[in-house]
Amino acid sequence: MRRALLAITGLAASTTALVVFKGSPGATQVAQNLPTAQPVNPTPQDVDPGTGPTADPVAGAPTPSVAPSAPASAKPSKSTARPPGSPRATTKAPTAPRTTTKAPQSTTRRVTGPGVDNEYGFVQVQIVVSGNRIVDAVSLSLPSGGESDIHSDDVSSRYDGTGGEVVQKQSANVNTVSGATETSNSYKQSLRGAIEQAF
């Protein structure tokens, strides 16, 4: 029994040590780069001032003028911005004139959500709104590299696109992709920002 107690103590100590070792270099980094970073997640954590919620009414002609470039994040190497004029966005464009004939003020708008930093990288979402409907969602940036590629692919294939979950649910209340909890959460956070901006 004495050995069991020893083993349990060892387990606790080594787990703590591992986490502390991995966490320590980052702690200073956070302190330098993000003096106001909040320890808890609920509010958008690391909103990049340059890419706050921006709404760009694109009346009639849907040119991808917004084209947000990869925002400077705390870890630039981890974030890769998708090409702004993604095929999905442009193929969706021809439907825009039809919607304008219905209601004069109803135009197709592209709204970019706030950039959200999480432990794996940078997440930013853009939605295309027609009238009061979300007709498309595009993830402009998702974490990349190693395992993150898989999770990011999962997240974008679930949420993005004209038939994705965002368009189906018409809200930020989408199901978390299992295995990619944090990326899903950051996606939702950015999405929520975009939706608030759009409506």
Partner 1 sequence: MTYPHTHAAGRRTGTSSRHDGRSALPVPPQVPDRRGPGGRRLLGLLLLVGLLASVLPWWLGTPAGSLRSTAATVTAAGRITGLIAGYLLLVQVLMMSRLPVLERWIGGEQMARWHRDVGATLLVAVLAHLSLILVGYADLRNQSILAEVGTLLGDYEDMLSAFVATGLMMLVGFSSVRAIRRALPYELWHLLHRSSYLILLLGFGHQFTHGAQLYKPGPVRTGWIALYLLVVAALLWGRVLAPLAFNLRYKLRVADVVAESPDTISIYLTGERLGRLTMLGGQYFRWRFLTRGCWWQSHPFSVSAAANGRWLRLTVKVVGTHTADLREVAPGTRVWAQGPSGTFTAAHRVRERALLIAGGSGITPIRAMLEELPPGAALIYRARTPADVLLSRELDWLAQERETSVWYVIGSRDDPGPRQLMSPDGLRQLVPDVARRDVYLCGPPGLVEQSVRALRRAGVPRRQIHLATFEL
Cα end-to-end distance, the chain, whole Å: 63
Q: How far is the CB of 53 from partner 1 (least distance, A)?
A: 20
Rule CB under 8 A: say whether 40 interacts with partner 1: yes
> Given candidates 69, 171, 173, 175, which one binds partner 1 under the rule CB under 8 A?
175
13 binds partner 1 (CB under 8 A): no
Interface with partner 1 by CB under 8 A: which range of 47-55, 95-103, 134-142, 145-153?
145-153
Question: Which H, E and C letters describe 56-125, residue by residue?
Answer: EECCCCCCCCCCCCCCCCCCHHHEEECCCCCHHHHHHHHHHHHHHHHCCCCCEEEEECCCEEECCEEEEE
> Please, are residues 123 and 116 in contact by the beta-carbon 8 Å criterion?
yes
Q: Which of 47, 167, 182, 193 binds partner 1 (CB under 8 A)?
A: 182
Q: At 128, which amino acid appears?
A: V
Candidate segments 20-28, 61-69, 82-90, 164-172, binder of partner 1 by CB under 8 A: 20-28
Q: Return the SS3 of 178.
A: coil
Q: φ, ψ for residue 170 (rounded to 5)?
A: 55, 30
32 binds partner 1 (CB under 8 A): no
Residues that bind partner 1 (CB under 8 A): 1, 3-4, 7-8, 11-12, 15-16, 18-19, 22-27, 29-30, 37, 39-42, 45, 119-120, 146-147, 150, 175-176, 178-179, 181-182, 185
